[in-house]
Structure 1
Amino acid sequence: MTAPALPGALSPTRLWTPKRVLVTRSAAERPHGRRVLARLEAAGVSDVELLPGDRLPNLRGDGDRAAFMAAKDTLALVVPPASKRALQPIAPSADWRLDLAEGCPAHCQYCYLAGSLSGPPITRVFADLDEVLAGLDGYVGRGSVTSGTVARGGEGTTFEASCYTDPLAIEHLTSGLARMVEHFGTHEWPGPIQLRATTKFDDVAGLLGLPHRGRTRLRFSVNAASVDRRFEGATAKVPGRLRALSTVAAAGYPVGLTIAPIMPVEGWQEEYGELLDAAAAALPAGADLTVECITHRFTPGSKETLLDWYPRTKLEMDEARRTTKRGKFGSVKHVYPRETMGELRGWFEAALADRLPQARLLYWT
């Protein structure tokens, strides 16, 4: 199959502008909080409310569609509880979850955050980034997902920055990812480390000149064309993400493809084959590439939330067509049946070996 050519001209980058910004008193006092406020002003965001204390107003509304959209258009600059500075493991991605924000302005109809975050879907940016970065040395060498393992020990101690947000979606307003990249690249660490971030956006210009020293792996979440078109609203489209991948790889960053969520849509072999061919065409020679494959799954809670958020969605969430998996604490997750999973995994492993032989498949889930 001939790889489709990537468009030569860069399409306009999708940049989110919140309609409302709420800033707690403690956040406005933090150095990172003041930097974010300056960037918001430079971006022309006019509705910025400085709160008298550290409690956000009630943002739940009355549960209608307008309340949901108002929440998605709101950014809150806050200082999270001190307990959040105690990092948690985030298998199978990384040793530790490193949050610079929670929430995302995109409109992906399968959104994983629907089952992970409670309350209205606003984007909360954390103003204590400097303190968090200053406290990371004690985590080096203590992880169990990559550091010290046979399969992925070469990655060192890994820190995942995109568990509960898309850091590039808000980077033009916060510069938080750039600050992370620079810290990871210039700090004298007690052992090998790696910052990891994945995104559905393509505004990478602010990351290109940073002293990253190869310690940040930038991954781009990609999918079949029909999945991108139908279910990934308010994101940069996949061709733009692949151009961004090419650009950061040329700047010396290790890169990755997060193929997620994989769905056996009609003609899926052809569509995902075209995706892999486009990725191969985008990569410069010698690029350090990893791949992560994540199939679509949902929980009863996430299904309820997503149907509330996107009542007209055509996303398949039929429990009768799935296998139920139960966690050790009784959690329920609906995944594809074993036969479907086996077919998907077999095809992807063979296709990756054929189309992207230089890539290292980190995990399949």
Structure 2
Amino acid sequence: MLDAPQLESIDQRARLWRPKRVVITRSAAVLDHGRAIAERAQALGLSVERLSSDRLPFNQPADPRRAYAQAKSTLAVVVAPPGKLKFQPIAPSADWRVDPAEGCPAHCSYCYLAGSLKGPPITRAFANISDILAALPAYLGQGTVTSRSADRAGEGTTFEASCYTDPLAIEHLTGSLSALIAHFGRWDADVQLRFTTKFAAVEPLLGLDHRGRTRMRASLNPAAFARFEGGTSSVADRLVALRRMADAGYRIGLTIAPIIAAEGWEEAYGGLIDAVAERLAGAPPQADLTVELITHRFTPTSKTVLESWYPGSDLDMTDTRRSEKRTRFGAVKHVYDAATMKALRSFFQTTIAARLPQARILYWT
């Protein structure tokens, strides 16, 4: 675990989240990892409230903005419920979803978690990381995205750690991402841990014995759309962090998401890809650069939640240039219409091939 001076040094170079309230449940407090999270918080000068039960005692204000602010400034250290030890498929990213936490301290006005997590948007870190690690072997070779894919078989059985959280955003407090990376490094199997992030504090990860079994992806949007990503590291800092990880032997990737077809998008995304090409020039070949392309979409529920959280946002969530798409569960998503999708896809495929010829596009959605 990093000591206080090391954490302070990192904090001077990167934007580290400092929750206003940290609580730990009774069951989490008796676990080694739970106690370690509490110690990390205290090393940053944060007080830790130890609960007498496993119930989170939060009385949410009636005003949705106040309720949102209170929740987003809270870290709860809890025990992951049994359902979290039964991993779910997470196409098209990976074979399986593994969650070291739920919730994220960033303030993105397009947040994919809005409406998909129950209750207020508190960040919950799971103290029973050893149980999560112990559940992994049962899923080896059992997925359908990379385990049985001719195009991506080289990635092995893949586990996505950033479906319901940004694990790097809270790593200075939890150490959970380091625990996962170290575990995959020791796991002598055809596996890969994957995570994507909008943050840049990679120092705790650089010296880990990862054995090439972890891929970090930087989640990126052009600076022109940075107003939609509050509380995150700058795009420039994320690219620096990505290059540092490549130089440390990690596999790397880009998650360009959500792709926003606002005025001037061609120039904005062209500039972003140029910046990536410049920063990654000469990166080690084992970095194996990949690209994931995800267009902006929203559901009626997420739109309602996001508009209550960010009433002043100018992110376009109207029906303009939108089509309805149904998920396999019958839920409705609003995606760009066919003409807009075609223009976006053609641009990215052509531009990436020309400016990042070493990159593999994993999927478009």
Bigger shift: residues 31-40 or 10-19: 10-19
Residue aligning to 1:71: 71
For 2:329, the aligned partner's letter is: F
- Whole-angstrom CA distance in 1 between matches of 2:298 and 2:349: 23
**Cα distance, 1:59–1:103 mapped onto 2, change above 3 Å:** farther
Residue aligning to 2:354: 354
- Whole-angstrom CA distance in 2 between matches of 1:262 and 1:330: 24
- Whole-angstrom CA distance in 2 between matches of 1:64 and 1:350: 43
| Structure 1 residues 199-235: Cα deviation after superposition (integer angstroms, max 9, x where no partner) | 000000110000001000000000122112x201000
| Structure 1 residues 275-326: Cα deviation after superposition (integer angstroms, max 9, x where no partner) | 1111111113323100000000000000000000001110100024310112
Report how far residue 54 of structure 1 moved.
Answer: 0.8
SS in 2 for 1:252: coil
- Whole-angstrom CA distance in 2 between matches of 1:126 and 1:301: 26
Q: Does 1:181 align with 2:181?
A: yes
Alignment map for 1:325-336 (pairs within 5 Å): 325-336=325-336
Report how far residue 81 of structure 1 moved.
Answer: 1.5
- Whole-angstrom CA distance in 1 between matches of 2:269 and 2:112: 21
Bigger shift: residues 292-301 or 263-272: 263-272
Report how far residue 328 of structure 1 moved.
Answer: 3.6
Residue aligning to 2:4: none
Alignment map for 1:127-146 (pairs within 5 Å): 127-146=127-146
Residue aligning to 1:227: 225
Residue aligning to 1:299: 299
Q: What is the count of residue pairs matched by the alignment?
A: 352
SS in 2 for 1:77: strand
Report how far residue 267 of structure 1 moved.
Answer: 1.5
Residue aligning to 2:251: 254
Alignment map for 1:22-101 (pairs within 5 Å): 22-46=23-47, 48-101=48-101
- Whole-angstrom CA distance in 1 between matches of 2:256 and 2:225: 11
| Structure 1 residues 73-123: Cα deviation after superposition (integer angstroms, max 9, x where no partner) | 000000021122000000110000000000000000000000311211110
Q: 1:200 aligns with which of 194, 198, 201?
A: 198
| Structure 1 residues 143-183: Cα deviation after superposition (integer angstroms, max 9, x where no partner) | 01110211111100000000000000000001110111000
SS in 2 for 1:313: coil
For 2:125, the aligned partner's letter is: V
Residue aligning to 2:278: 281
SS in 2 for 1:115: coil
- Whole-angstrom CA distance in 2 between matches of 1:290 and 1:337: 26
Cα contact 2:321–2:340 (8 A) shared by 1: no
- Whole-angstrom CA distance in 1 between matches of 2:120 and 2:210: 35
Task: Give structure 1 stretches of 5+ with no counterpart.
Answer: 1-9
Bigger shift: residues 178-187 or 282-291: 282-291
Cα contact 2:64–2:309 (8 A) shared by 1: no
Q: Does 1:267 align with 2:264?
A: yes
TM-score normalised over the length of structure 2? 0.94
For 1:256, the aligned partner's letter is: G
- Whole-angstrom CA distance in 2 between matches of 1:77 and 1:45: 14
For 2:188, the aligned partner's letter is: E
SS in 2 for 1:197: strand
TM-score normalised over the length of structure 1? 0.94
- Whole-angstrom CA distance in 1 between matches of 2:272 and 2:246: 18
- Whole-angstrom CA distance in 2 between matches of 1:188 and 1:253: 17
SS in 2 for 1:33: helix
- Whole-angstrom CA distance in 1 between matches of 2:247 and 2:154: 22
**Cα distance, 1:238–1:59 mapped onto 2, change above 3 Å:** farther
Cα contact 1:60–1:119 (8 A) shared by 2: no
Alignment map for 1:107-186 (pairs within 5 Å): 107-186=107-186
- Whole-angstrom CA distance in 2 between matches of 1:336 and 1:311: 22
Bigger shift: residues 280-289 or 10-19: 10-19
RMSD: 1.3
For 2:158, the aligned partner's letter is: T
Percentage identity across aligned positions? 60
Residue aligning to 1:324: 324
Report how far residue 59 of structure 1 moved.
Answer: 4.2
Cα contact 2:114–2:306 (8 A) shared by 1: yes
Cα contact 2:169–2:197 (8 A) shared by 1: yes
- Whole-angstrom CA distance in 2 between matches of 1:301 and 1:53: 32
For 1:196, the aligned partner's letter is: R
For 1:278, the aligned partner's letter is: A
Cα contact 2:88–2:97 (8 A) shared by 1: yes
SS in 1 for 2:114: helix
- Whole-angstrom CA distance in 1 between matches of 2:40 and 2:75: 13
- Whole-angstrom CA distance in 2 between matches of 1:310 and 1:250: 38
Residue aligning to 2:8: none
Residue aligning to 1:6: none
